[in-house]
Structure 1
């Protein structure tokens, strides 16, 4: 499934194309708070793990396996809520912001060091920073925090450049689309949180 094909002038592979379609479906369903998004997330993560392995983006590859586990957790959270209450869209408190920033920074230091010393990637710091940010975004999404979309906007903008650099043009296009979808998600979930406050 790794034969190159040209789609609208963009070089890709069938596996990257399948991953692209599954990922777009995931985000569209997330915006609408449909729990089936998590199933598409699992499938997309599994196929993207193979795409990233071929591109020597080992942080992103490993992240896909974490996303699979986080998707199972997120699916459970969305179906069963917080205790006896359904999980609803809420905002982070100030302390939650600090925890998210600290987790991103710590994840960056640990992941970029690991990637720099123990793999042959040529982008250990970019890969580590974006992998750590993606983990934070995924955890916030699983808890239905509005701010997950802001994390995804930052991460997705930077991923566009990384994927262009690595020659994953269709995935770069996907992440550009993700920026627009994350903006849409942020606005939609902000309105929900404001209405339910």
Structure 2
């Protein structure tokens, strides 16, 4: 680990920005979005240098969706901030097959068109992250379960490419996702209790 190495410094800056963003997301703080945009821009450069092209493309998606997520969390659907809600069970009936098909489809494309490392694993990180990010943008509780799965896949992938700092960060993300899921669940119950109290007033 050479602290004067520009590649390490880039990875370190990306990790600091994204770590701050993830911690803020776990606390249901809207400032997660602008900090995440900065971190994702840095990580796009990190992954391009490591030939993890699906992860590089994923960062551009995150930047675009973060702008929308920022607006959604502030404004919601009808001018009010979005509440935390749970995904309807029937949504998984189409989300799960879509995730599998997209993972294999994008992995196959990476295999044919690039020199990507571990294309199908890399693709799984991309696809599941996209779904998790979209759910988080809508403040869906289940987004954190998907982040737990993403982080479980990403840790060994990044470690195998020598991105040791990033793999350690993703271990921290795994822990944060577990804590955040519990925190969001408590907030959601608090919202329900407040609604019942308002209805009874």
What TM-score, normalized to structure 1? Answer: 0.92
Match of residue 165 from structure 1: 160
Instruction: Tell me the secondary structure at the aligned position of residue 5 of structure 1.
Output: coil
Alignment partners' CA distance in 2, 1:103 and 1:192:
30
Alignment partners' CA distance in 2, 1:190 and 1:59:
31
Alignment partners' CA distance in 2, 1:136 and 1:111:
15
Instruction: Tell me the secondary structure at the aligned position of residue 126 of structure 2.
Output: helix
Aligned-residue offset at 1:131: 0.7
Alignment partners' CA distance in 1, 2:71 and 2:108:
32
Q: How does 1:16-95 map to 2 (within 5 A)?
A: 16-95=11-90
CA contact under 8 A between 1:91 and 1:145: conserved in structure 2?
yes
Unaligned runs of 5+ in 1: none
Match of residue 182 from structure 1: 177
Alignment partners' CA distance in 1, 2:184 and 2:92:
17
CA contact under 8 A between 1:90 and 1:144: conserved in structure 2?
yes
Alignment partners' CA distance in 2, 1:40 and 1:179:
19
What is the aligned-residue RMSD (CA, Å)?
1.5
Deviations 1:38-97 (A, max 9, x none): 001100100000000000000000000000001011111101102244201011111222
Q: Which runs of structure 1 show a deviation greater than 4 angstroms over 4 or more consecutive aligned residues? A: none
User: How many residues are matched?
Assistant: 190
Q: Does 1:134 align with 2:110?
A: no
Match of residue 199 from structure 2: none
What TM-score, normalized to structure 2? Answer: 0.90
Instruction: Tell me the secondary structure at the aligned position of residue 105 of structure 1.
Output: helix
